[in-house]
Amino acid sequence: MDSGIRLAAMKAEQLAVPGVRALTPYLPGKPISELERELGLCNIVKLASNENPLGPSPKALEAARRALSEIHLYPDGSGFELKAALSAKLDVRPEQITLGNGSNDILELVARVFLSAESKAIYSEHAFAVYPIVTQAVGAKAAVAPAHDGSRGPRYGHDLQGMAQRVDESTRVVFIANPNNPTGTYLTKSELRSFLDDLPADVVAVVDEAYFEYVEAPDYPDCMAWLSDFPNLIVTRTFSKAYGLAGLRVGYAVSSPSIADLLNRVRQPFNVNSPALEAAKAALDDNEHLSRSVNLNRAGLLQLYDALAERKLSFIRSVGNFVTIDIAKPAAPIYDALLRQGVIVRPIGNYGLPNHLRVTVGTEEENRIFLDALDRVLAL
Ligand SMILES: *Cc1c(COP(=O)(O)O)cnc(C)c1O
């Protein structure tokens, strides 16, 4: 039998490594163009992927445009200039920085460097969906710590004690989202610090700070300051959220130089493209756009909180740019009905929260359009 026929006779499924066979793909927010195609709607409002409603800094856009004239050349695979800018801004050395094609890329690099079929990763219930994906893809085991039930910490938030209890000799990585998506909950400086103090030195702690720039809680930690105390700490951040560059795919990790060296060994040499490198560097320079984004988000969160409370809907208090709402009944039909109203939000049944919807904070007008659509849908 020729090999093509043999392959067809065998299901491709059986050829895949066991971790991949057990994977469920990441479910992204529905793109606007897809809803336009499906329902023939226009003026769609997308509040589904925690994107910045103001878009990117005009300076970042201009830098990306300028970079287009050189896209026949490979990008600088070392990301020298962006690393230099980050190094100055964050007060770390360039050798501590690893650039990623989004911070999801970094999470995957971490899994490939530190996890295997013999080891285990720990993360929380309701934590960001990419942790199970990167863990399973390399065949590693996962221990999921139940989230707080509200008695000892914010309900739905990470229970660090429960996570610490799951650490054993095979544990190599702990993923911590601070704040967490989709719950919007955060860990305080003192609780996270004491967790890291007690974590064995042979376990790598990944603190995912994708929403760092938005957080204004006074007891929220800046883990960057702890890197010199913990050679096993990796802090990840992104340009996708507050910086409004989700489509360009650029994020980064800051760690000890030796961890950065390991991450760089498995990194694709040109993982961040040249318009992304240039736009990210320019975005770092536009503090005014960043504060406008943070201010808009603060006002939008309050607008949504007030409106939800008026409607007697409960929600999880968030320090990010999204709110997760308890619909108190299966949320999937509400999500579908909102789509028909031209509003895309995020159902989060795959996060173990089938009665909740996650809504990104939009502009004042977008928030109002969402609330009006929600009123119509809930009245049906
Ligand atoms: C959005 C998000 C990310 C990163 O996304 P990238 O676009 O890949 O940088 C990482 N972690 C969490 C918790 C997120 O919500």
Closest by alpha carbon to 290, among 48, 50, 54, 49? 54
CA-nearest residue, atom 10 of ligand 1: 210
Does the Cβ of 177 fall within 6 Å of ligand 1? yes
Phi, psi of 35 (to 5 degrees): -65, -35
pLDDT digits (tens, 9 = 90+) for 288-306: 999 999 999 999 999 999 9
Does the Cβ of 184 fall within 6 Å of ligand 1? no
In 3-state terms, what secondary structure has residue 316?
A: strand
Ligand 1 mean position, distance from CA 354 (Å): 21
Domains of the chain from N-terminus onward: 15-46+288-378 (3.90.1150.10), 58-285 (3.40.640.10)
Does the Cβ of 181 fall within 6 Å of ligand 1? yes
Does the Cβ of 178 fall within 6 Å of ligand 1? no
- Integer Cα distance of 113 and 28 in angstroms: 26
Instruction: At 112, list the tokens.
Output: 């490939």
What percent of the chain clears pLDDT 90, i.e. is strictly above it?
92
Does the Cβ of 102 fall within 6 Å of ligand 1? yes
- pLDDT for the residue 10: 72
Closest by alpha carbon to 242, among 180, 287, 178? 287
CB 278 within 8 A of CB 67: yes
Q: Alpha-carbon dihedral of residues 354, 28, 174, 240, nearest 10 degrees?
A: -130
- Integer Cα distance of 343 and 45 in angstroms: 5
Does the Cβ of 104 fall within 6 Å of ligand 1? yes
Query: Averaged over 101-126, what is the pLDDT?
Result: 98
- pLDDT for the residue 8: 64
- pLDDT for the residue 18: 87
Nearest atom, ligand 1, residue 251 CA: 9
- Integer Cα distance of 310 and 306 in angstroms: 6
Ligand 1 mean position, distance from CA 210 (Å): 5
Query: Averaged over 6-10, what is the pLDDT?
Result: 65
Query: Averaged over 14-23, what is the pLDDT?
Result: 88
Closest by alpha carbon to 347, among 336, 278, 243, 329? 336
Instruction: At 109, list the tokens.
Output: 């690099």
Query: Averaged over 67-94, what is the pLDDT?
Result: 98
Query: Averaged over 109-134, what is the pLDDT?
Result: 97
Q: Does the pLDDT value for residue 207 go beyond 70? A: yes
Q: Residue 308: which residues within 8 A CB-CB, separation 6 or more?
A: 314, 315, 323, 325
Ligand 1 mean position, distance from CA 107 (Å): 9
CA-nearest residue, atom 4 of ligand 1: 103
Ligand 1 mean position, distance from CA 193 (Å): 22
Q: Does the pLDDT value for residue 243 go beyond 90? A: yes
pLDDT digits (tens, 9 = 90+) for 63-78: 999 999 999 999 999 9
Q: For the residues of 150-214, what is the DSSP string, one character each? A: SSSSSTTS--HHHHHHT--TTEEEEEEESS-TTT-----HHHHHHHHHHS-TTSEEEEE-TTGGG
- pLDDT for the residue 6: 67
- Integer Cα distance of 89 and 276 in angstroms: 18
- pLDDT for the residue 24: 85
Q: Does the pLDDT value for residue 94 go beyond 80? A: yes
Q: Does the pLDDT value for residue 135 go beyond 90? A: yes
Query: Averaged over 319-326, what is the pLDDT?
Result: 98
Ligand 1 mean position, distance from CA 104 (Å): 6
* pLDDT confidence band for 26 (50 / 70 / 90): confident
* pLDDT confidence band for 1 (50 / 70 / 90): low
Strand-pairing partners, residue 325, are: 315, 357
Mean pLDDT, the chain, whole residue set: 96
CA-nearest residue, atom 6 of ligand 1: 102
Q: Does the pLDDT value for residue 2 go beyond 70? A: no
Ligand 1 mean position, distance from CA 260 (Å): 19
CA-nearest residue, atom 3 of ligand 1: 210
Q: Where are the alpha helices (DSSP H) in 91-138?
A: 103-114, 130-137
- pLDDT for the residue 355: 98
CB 284 within 8 A of CB 89: yes
Q: Ligand 1, from 105, 123, 124, 208: best to mutate by most atoms within 8 Å of Cβ?
A: 208
CA-nearest residue, atom 15 of ligand 1: 181
